[in-house]
Amino acid sequence: MAIEKLLKDEATEEKGERARMASFVGAMAIADLVKTTLGPKGMDKILQSTGRGHSVTVTNDGATILKSLHIDNPAAKVLVDISKVQDDEVGDGTTSVVVLAGELLREAEKLVNAKIHPMTIISGYRMAAECAKNALLEKVVDNKLDAEKFKADLMKIAMTTLSSKILSQDKEHFAKLAVDAVMRLKGSTNLEAIQIIKKPGGSLKDSFLDEGFILDKKIGVGQPKRIENAKILVANTAMDTDKVKIYGARVRVDSMAKVAEIEVAEKEKMREKVQKIINHGINCFVNRQLIYNFPEELFADAGVLAIEHADFDGIERLALVTGGEIASTFDNPESVKLGHCKLIEEIMIGEDKLIHFSGVDMGQACTIVLRGASPHMLDEAERSLHDALCVLSQTVNDSRVLLGGGWPEMVMAKSVDELARKTPGKRSHAIEAFSRALVAIPTTIADNAGLDSAELIAQLRAEHHKEGSNAGIDVISGSVGDMAELGISEAFKVKQAVLLSATEAAEMILRVDEIITCAPRRREDRM
């Protein structure tokens, strides 16, 4: 007897062909969505939230676009995740990885329709990915030993990364900012020490890099505006207890004089706390919480600069940069680590006053101040710069560099094609398909620039059959150009991450033959 029904009412399942179709279609739709943002001539997308405030984001960063989508299709979610990982891991190539995975699936769909088993396709893809990676490894350039050349490489990589973003007009200026900031890190990939402050007004060209640390706060009234050889105590403590704080507290007194006594006692308590803080021998006190007028006055009398309400991001970074620790109790001064810096002063950026800490303990700290016409522009500029900083900090560690502009994809496609010719059996179809998927990236770059991609890719392929060719797509002149002369470079780490993540994601989606959607749990089921 057949089982009538296995799953609950609202659960659905799709098997075999239909499940595979659903995954393929979802993944390809996502790839087509971000495809138009790829390359130097890629377009931006406006993301408008339907929530409160209807906030608008204008962006061309693949990971940001996909993060904001609410997707129902399970396979599409896999692609969103790989672009997120790519963003966290290397910062750039978030669009390429999705486009490549989408193309791999598009090719796989044709093969599945031609009755080739998904496992055969996967094993072919695996071989092809290995072969492509080795092809890149043969062609990498490593200038770590020559500081001048390496810095030039970093500049090129930064300019290539920025050329597909909103900063492309002033890419030299921003590439220089990014390279200077990353060179200060001296090889660490911790981008915490680089702070980015956004100030509307001015134009993007007015952005600058400042050594030291800038805190987005004003200096209080009647306090020193400039301190040299500052000793800084960074704290997270309540400095507003000169009032009875306990709500609903009833204090019965029989005269007004008693009330005055309570107030005096409170004041004394505060004065003691301030005295404890001053006993640390500091001349700058930065607090995360409010500082009321009375303690502020006491600090001003003692010649201590008190800064209140420094946001958490700012205070953590300040502690990190000045070498101090965040304190919340002040009974034993010897156990508190103070921060140090050479000079604290107030500066003006545009209309706003900010506090500038220079000569900080952590020499690699710096602040990039972005100026721009509107908040949306600044947000996008920050995302673009963050991508460039990520890529550069990774490149400083792994200094292998490749040419850009579709050159790596053509190199990989060429060697994968050769592998397909040598491989017997059905796998060769899959390997060939992999090479076609790789070519899709330069094709998309050309399409987005409004060029004749079929013509260009054919020329490019012919160029690459000559030994040691540096040909790639020169979007500006609209023809095949020499990437080494144009100075278009990419980090090897980014390309490798794109290749491996896309292959693994495609493989994962290919393995699916059934999608089961669970019914939501009902309240009464829990009894």
- Name, in order, each residue with C-beta under 8 angstroms of 41's C-beta and a sequence gap of 6 or more: 445, 448, 449, 450, 475
Q: Which secondary-structure segment (H or E) carries 210? A: strand 208-211
- Name, in order, each residue with C-beta under 8 angstroms of 453's C-beta and a sequence gap of 6 or more: 442, 443, 444, 446, 447
Alpha helices in 36-71 (DSSP H): 62-67
Q: Is the dihedral of CA 399, 405, 409, 411 positive or negative?
A: negative
Half-sphere exposure of 494 (CA within 13 A, CB side): 31
Extended strands (E) in 212-310:
213-215, 226-235, 284-287, 305-307
Task: Pull the structure tokens for residue 479.
Answer: 């023809």
- Residue 248 corresponds to which amino acid? G
Residue with tokens 């094709």: 443
* Nearest by Cα to 349 from 217, 176, 171: 217
Rounded Cα–Cα distance for residues 460 and 483 (Å):
12
Task: Pull the structure tokens for residue 210.
Answer: 């400042």
Which residues are known catalytic residues?
A: 61, 94-95, 387
CB 406 within 8 A of CB 442: yes
Task: Pull the structure tokens for residue 408.
Answer: 């790596």
Q: Can you give the three-state secondary structure of 451-509, one letter per residue?
A: CCHHHHHHHHHHHHCCCCCCEEEECCCCEEEEHHHHCCEEEHHHHHHHHHHHHHHHHHH
Residue with tokens 């390359």: 39
CB 322 within 8 A of CB 233: no
